[in-house]
């Protein structure tokens, strides 16, 4: 019995030893990377620190009404408004404009900061979460991305751009700003072609706001090349023009009309007769451009505002002195946008179309003086814009060399040619 028991015990121990010799499975602990969510900042604030409430200014809203709605009492509202008035007039909130209220992240949800956006780029911060109210203006990050586009005309430039999914603003800039006096875009030929070097504008990297500017262009019309290069001639006044390869200014001193999308409802006519006045001769010394109320009215040339006033006949009107020879006047405005003594550039908005004064419908009466006498602008041989000064010409010719090289290197292609040049990306931090 003892021997058998001993043998059985040895067998069991041997079996257990064999089991222990087997390789046990290795337990691998998997490491999980924990990625913290990216903090979202806007207007310079870490939004996760607040309850964020966004809205637009409604009819009847005021700064006080909005803050009271977000649990700020009127005594505090008055103090906040007083301390912020040197930075922003709270009475200037416009219906439809967006605002953001940063509220305490607790059960009270009381407002701590008010941010108003008068436009897509700018914003006003009124921060009253500390004992001292801080008010300041700032701008969002603006990015300009340089791009190129080319096209071959089979119909017209608008159709060519549309087929490629490109902005119609490129057509407007080329037709109305760059080549308005050089190429008649109503008479383009099949096979005409163009290259454009331009920049698109983005806000906060994601919001596309359209074409910012055209830096250079080449338009081949009837097999003749027309180069155009953007160049600043006066940094103090911010005057920028387009010049040809030989430094000749491509524009004329005056625009053809003070409004876009216009029609002439009444021309300059010294023998005009009107039925309501018994067909008596009532000279019309202006050119009437019919346009919808609120249409921007542009200065047709660089100059200094000599009058910005109201009379019973003219309504709201502006007069601009361009030089010793020429003056222009713009009548019947809904509202004026300039003051006497202010320098304006060609294309600047000086007011908006209205029906003030003696007028039977919305339009701008455009009057043109030459040597102190009112004349028909359409019968004048209008001067060219000022050429580049001799001192700037050398600088200009050096400036356009690399731009022309880049423009010439762009290949023509009938396919969609909206190409982003990442190496020329420009970011402005505000």
Separation of alpha carbons 242 and 226, rounded Å = 11
> Quick one: what percent of the chain has pLDDT higher than 70?
83
The pLDDT score that the predictor gives to residue 162 is 87
pLDDT 10s digits, 126-141: 999 887 889 999 999 8
The more confidently predicted of residues 188 and 34 is 188
Integer Cα distance of 382 and 371 in angstroms: 13
Quick: pLDDT tens for 359-413. 888 999 999 999 999 998 888 887 777 778 888 999 999 999 999 999 999 998 6
Say yes or no to pLDDT of 68 above 80: yes
The answer to whether the Cα torsion of 304, 309, 314, 315 is positive or negative is: positive
Contact by Cβ (8 Å): 243, 249: yes
Q: pLDDT value at position 424? A: 43
Per-residue confidence (pLDDT) for residue 192, from 0 to 100: 93
| Whether the predicted pLDDT of 69 surpasses 60 | yes
pLDDT per position as a tens digit, 319-330: 999 988 999 999
- Please give the pLDDT value at position 384: 75
How does the average pLDDT of the chain come out, rounded? 84
- Using alpha carbons, select from 311, 337, 329, 335 the residue that is nearest to residue 365: 329
d(CA 170, CA 260): 16
**pTM for the full predicted model:** 0.65
pLDDT at 145 over 90: yes
Alpha carbon distance 56, 66 (integer Å):
10
Instruction: Give the pLDDT score at 11.
Output: 47
Task: Specify the range with the lowest mean pLDDT, choosing from 81-90, 136-145, 281-290.
Answer: 281-290
**Percentage of residues in the chain having pLDDT higher than 90:** 52
The pLDDT assigned to 281 comes to: 54
Closest-CA residue to 304 (of 285, 323, 286, 283): 323
Tokens of 109: 């949800």
Q: Which two tokens stand for residue 286?
A: 């202006």
DSSP E strands in 65-141: the ranges are 98-103, 111-116, 122-127, 134-139
Could you tell me how many residues make up the chain? 430
pLDDT bucket at 36, cuts 50 / 70 / 90:
low
Whole-number Å distance between alpha carbons of 80 and 116: 15
Beta partners for residue 243, in sequence order: 229, 249
57 and 95 Cβ atoms separated by less than 8 Å: yes
pLDDT confidence bin for 46, thresholds 50/70/90: very high
Q: Residue 35 in 3-state DSSP?
A: coil
- Helix H, strand E, coil C: the string for 204-252 is CCCEEEEEEEEEEEEEEECCEEEEEEEEEEECCCCEEEEECCCCCECCE
What is the pLDDT, as a whole number, of residue 155? Answer: 83
Q: If you search the block for the tokens 């911010």, which residue do you land on? A: 238
Q: Give the per-residue pLDDT at 277.
A: 52
Structure-block tokens of residue 263:
């029609």
Encode pLDDT of 226-277 as tens digits: 999 999 988 777 788 899 999 988 888 888 889 986 678 777 766 665 554 5
Give me the residues paired with residue 161 across strands: none
- Asked if 393 and 249 count as a contact pair (C-beta separation under 8 A), the reply is no
User: CA geometry: angle at 364 spanning 363 and 367, to 5°?
Assistant: 145
**In this predicted model, what pLDDT tens digit does every residue of 199-234 receive, in sequence order?**
999 998 888 888 999 999 999 999 999 999 999 988
Phi, psi (degrees; rounded to nearest 5) at 387? -75, 170
| Domains in the chain with CATH codes | 44-139 (3.10.450.350), 143-251+388-428 (3.10.450.350), 263-379 (2.70.70.10)
pLDDT number for residue 405: 95
Residues 120 and 322: their CA atoms lie apart, in Å, by: 33
Per DSSP, 295 falls in state -
């Amino acid at each position: 019995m003892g021997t058998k028991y001993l043998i059985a015990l040895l067998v069991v121990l041997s079996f257990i030893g064999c089991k222990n010799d087997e390789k046990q499975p290795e337990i691998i602990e998997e490491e999980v990377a924990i990625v913290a969510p990216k903090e979202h900042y806007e207007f310079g604030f870490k939004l996760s620190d607040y309850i964020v409430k966004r809205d637009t200014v409604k009819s009847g809203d005021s700064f006080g009404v909005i803050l009271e709605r977000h649990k700020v009492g009127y005594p505090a509202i008055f103090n906040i408004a007083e301390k912020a008035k040197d930075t922003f007039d709270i009475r200037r909130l416009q219906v439809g404009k967006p605002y953001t209220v940063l509220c305490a992240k607790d059960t009270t949800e009381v407002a701590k900061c008010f941010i108003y956006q008068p436009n897509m780029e700018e914003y006003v911060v009124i921060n009253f979460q500390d004992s001292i109210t801080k008010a300041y203006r700032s701008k969002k990050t603006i990015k300009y991305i340089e791009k190129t586009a080319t096209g071959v005309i089979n119909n017209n430039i608008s159709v060519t751009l549309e087929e490629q999914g490109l902005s119609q603003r490129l057509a407007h800039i080329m037709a109305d700003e760059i080549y308005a006096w050089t190429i008649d875009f109503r008479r383009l030929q099949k096979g005409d072609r163009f290259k454009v070097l331009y920049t698109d504008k983005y806000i906060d990297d994601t919001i596309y706001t359209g074409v910012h500017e055209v830096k250079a262009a080449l338009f081949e019309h009837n097999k003749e090349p027309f180069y155009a290069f953007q160049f600043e001639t006066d940094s103090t006044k911010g005057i920028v023009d387009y010049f040809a390869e030989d430094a000749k200014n491509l524009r004329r001193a005056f625009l053809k009309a003070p409004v876009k999308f216009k029609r002439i409802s009444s021309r300059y006519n010294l023998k005009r007769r009107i039925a309501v006045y018994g067909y008596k001769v009532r000279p019309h010394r202006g050119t009437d451009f019919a346009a919808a109320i609120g249409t921007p009215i542009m200065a047709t040339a660089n100059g200094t505002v000599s009058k910005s006033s109201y009379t019973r006949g003219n309504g709201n009107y502006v007069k601009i002195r361009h030089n010793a020879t020429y003056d222009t006047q713009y009548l019947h405005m809904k509202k004026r946008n300039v003051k006497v003594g202010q320098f304006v550039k060609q294309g600047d908005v000086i007011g908006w179309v209205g029906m003030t004064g003696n007028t039977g419908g919305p339009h701008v009466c455009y009057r043109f003086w030459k040597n102190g006498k009112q004349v028909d602008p359409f019968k004048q041989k209008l001067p060219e814009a000022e050429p580049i000064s001799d001192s700037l010409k050398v600088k200009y010719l050096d400036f356009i060399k690399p731009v022309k090289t880049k423009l010439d290197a762009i290949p023509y292609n009938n396919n969609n040619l909206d190409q982003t040049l990442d190496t020329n990306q420009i970011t402005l931090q505000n």
